Amino acid sequence: MRWRTRAGSILLALGAALAGVPAQAQAPQELKFGAMPLGSIWYVFAASFAKHIQAGLPPGAKVDIIARGGGIGNPIVVNDNKADVAFANVITAYWAMNGEEEIYKGKKYPNIRALLGGLNEVWIAAMLSEDYIKRTGNDTLEKALTSRNPPRVIMKPAGSTVPPTVRLIYESLGLSFEKYRAAGGQIIQVDVGQIPSMMRDGRADLYFESVSPGHPATQEVTLTVPLRFLDLPEKTLAVLGRNGLKVHPLPASFKGQNGPTKSADFGTNLIVHKDMPENVAYAITKAIIENRDAIVADNKAMAGFVARDAWRPENVGIPLHPGAIRYYKEKGWM
């Protein structure tokens, strides 16, 4: 397939430059990096990645971080050439490529490929305000969501992995968003940057989030609002496990946790379009792997990232790009 988009011409120029062929374009070239909105941990990660990726690209090239998107949306924007490289969740990349019915409505996005994975663990967390618990006595997730005094739920909007995962949580408890609202429950979906202030102002009671240790919005909320992390019920964990999430506890990482919290995680990988020039995919992979220690020093939530395992199927979820494969084979890891 010939690339006719602006993004395609940029990457062809970068690929030519990396191969030692003079590029015709004289202006600096942009590599568009799909992350999430300001305040999200993926935006923080992207800033660190961009620094090292840009150093591995030809002079004049720059990395432009896209401050929107999320685990659900990023595979779509990469598939459709609206971003050149992006973070995704292992599970959502797999769902997107295979057209998972509930989330992607059966539509497949076959043009995505992985560069690396195992970047960090991302858990679904349910945080209930101590004020709500004191008022109602509902101190478990099931009690709260099925009570006659349902909490006001707050989470990120569509495009994040959070809403479809919360929908699965509701279904595991015999609920739906529609039933919840009909029973008087309120579901608020806003950008992550608005959530801390809304929780502080007492406009929401139950906060669902995709978290890793050090997650900026979660840190802010838990340090300024008395919250309690809730274990997910066993029947909820069973449903999440059947839908591709990895069931294991969120380690004690935030104020409001008395110990590990029963949860499940999505995993994080880095994806590109299948038609990205091989030399560009190789350069990005090399830049991240060989600067692993510096990146982890900037992002403690990535401390578990093992470079030599970044190619493994369980860490990427979808096929690798040939440029990444070439790098891993050169390292002798494949």
Number of other CB atoms surrounding residue 153 within 10 Å: 23
Give yes or no for a contact between 264 and 240, defined as CB atoms under 8 angstroms apart: yes
Q: Which of 253, 263, 254, 257 is nearest to 221 (CA)?
A: 254
Kindly give the confidence (pLDDT) of every residue in the chain, 334 residues in length, as a single tens digit, with 9 standing for 90 and above.
333 355 555 565 566 556 654 544 434 478 999 999 887 889 999 999 999 999 888 888 889 999 998 889 999 999 999 999 999 999 899 999 999 877 898 999 999 999 999 998 889 999 999 999 999 999 999 999 999 999 999 999 987 789 989 999 999 999 999 999 999 999 999 998 899 999 999 999 999 999 988 788 899 999 999 999 999 999 999 999 888 788 899 999 999 999 999 999 888 999 999 999 999 999 999 999 999 999 999 988 898 899 999 999 889 989 999 999 999 999 999 9
Domain boundaries 6-120+267-331, corresponding CATH code? 3.40.190.10
Q: How far is CA 66 from CA 27, 38, 87, 197, in A?
A: 20, 10, 11, 24
CA angle centred on 227, ends 152 and 40, rounded to 5°: 80
d(CA 263, CA 209): 12
d(CA 237, CA 310): 26
Q: Give the model's pLDDT for residue 9.
A: 54
In our burial notation (b when 16+ CB lie closer than 10 A, e otherwise), range 162-196 reads bbbbbebbbebbebeeeebeeeebebbeebbebbb
Tokens, residue 231: 């274990």
The answer to pTM > 0.75 is no
Give yes or no for a contact between 64 and 31, defined as CB atoms under 8 angstroms apart: yes
Q: Which residues 6+ apart lie within 8 Å of 2 measured at CB? A: 8
CA angle centred on 188, ends 231 and 102, rounded to 5°: 70
Superfamily per CATH, domain 123-265: Periplasmic binding protein-like II (3.40.190.10)
Domains 6-120+267-331 and 123-265 share a fold: yes
Query: Helix, strand, coil proportions of the chain in percent (round to 5)?
Result: 45, 15, 40
- Residue spans of the domains in the chain: they are 6-120+267-331, 123-265
Altogether, the residues listed in the chain come to a count of 334
Strands, E assignment, the chain: 30-34, 62-66, 85-88, 112-117, 123-129, 152-155, 186-189, 206-211, 227-229, 246-247, 264-265, 269-273
Q: Give the model's pLDDT for residue 121.
A: 87
d(CA 113, CA 290): 20
d(CA 77, CA 150): 36
3-state SS class at 134: helix
- What is the identity of the amino acid at 22? P
